Amino acid sequence: MKWFEELNQVVRIILFIPIWGWIFSALNRIFKYVDNKKNVVTLVAGILCIIPIVGFVLSVVDLVTTILNNRIEVLYE
């Protein structure tokens, strides 16, 4: 997901706001797996993000790691 990594940090933070961030977290992880086909955990996490509670939690984690480290680090390989 090279295009996502090239986005401005402010845009990424807006994308991970928990209202719609769970949808973006799911799609981002699924597309990351399709792009790399490296880590099945990324695909499973993406599929689980479709469940609103799991997606909400992971979108908050993505938001925090994006703010702190300027990239997603949890279940995203």
Q: Which residue in 12, 20, 10, 19 sits closest to 76, CA to CA? A: 12
**Which structural domain range is residue 37 located in?**
7-69
**Assigned domain for 74 exists:** no
Does any domain span residue 2?
no
Rounded CA separation 14/63 (Å): 9
Q: Are 32 and 40 in contact (CB under 8 A)?
A: no
Number of domains in the chain: 1
The DSSP 8-state label assigned to residue 30 in this structure reads H
Query: pLDDT tens-digit profile of 19-33?
Result: 777 788 888 888 888
Query: Residue 16 pLDDT more than 70?
Result: yes
State the pLDDT at residue 1. 62
Q: Is residue 75 part of a domain?
A: no
Using the CB atoms, write b or e for 8-36: b if 16+ within 10 Å.
eeeebbebbeeeebbebbbebbbebbeee
In a domain, 59, yes or no: yes
Q: Is residue 1 helix, strand or coil?
A: coil
What's this model's pTM, rounded to 2 decimal places? 0.75
Judge whether 41 lies within some domain.
yes
Tens of pLDDT, residue by residue over 25-76, are 888 888 888 888 878 888 888 888 888 888 888 888 888 888 888 777 777 7
